[in-house]
Amino acid sequence: MTYRSRKPTLDSPSILVKLRAMKYWLMKSEPDVFSIDDLKSKKKEPWTGVRNYQARNFMKEMKLGDQVLFYHSNAEVIGVAGVMEVVKEGH
């Protein structure tokens, strides 16, 4: 599964995919491992290293265009740091 910073455009998958109700998800990362700024600079990045089975199952449910709240944990300022969008589905 690959994610990118949310940037609404006319060719955005969230605009093109309207066949099902969009879901919203929450994913967390420690900023010293991978931060929202890292995602902004890379534009797209796969979310790897998830060991929790339930979290992996949720990631398999994520569909193209779903919105994801990017949560910074274990940081100076804890909370949602930004919004990202699913641009490639997991398997």
Sequential pLDDT tens for the chain (91 residues): 656 666 555 555 555 555 567 789 999 999 999 999 999 999 999 988 899 999 999 999 999 999 999 999 988 889 999 999 999 988 7
Q: What CA–CA distance (Å, rounded) separates 66 from 14?
A: 7
Nearest residue to 3 via CA among 87, 72, 70: 87
DSSP strand pairing (24-29 vs 2-5): unpaired
pTM of the shown model: 0.71
Separation of alpha carbons 50 and 59, rounded Å: 9
Instruction: Give the CA diameter of the chain.
Output: 40
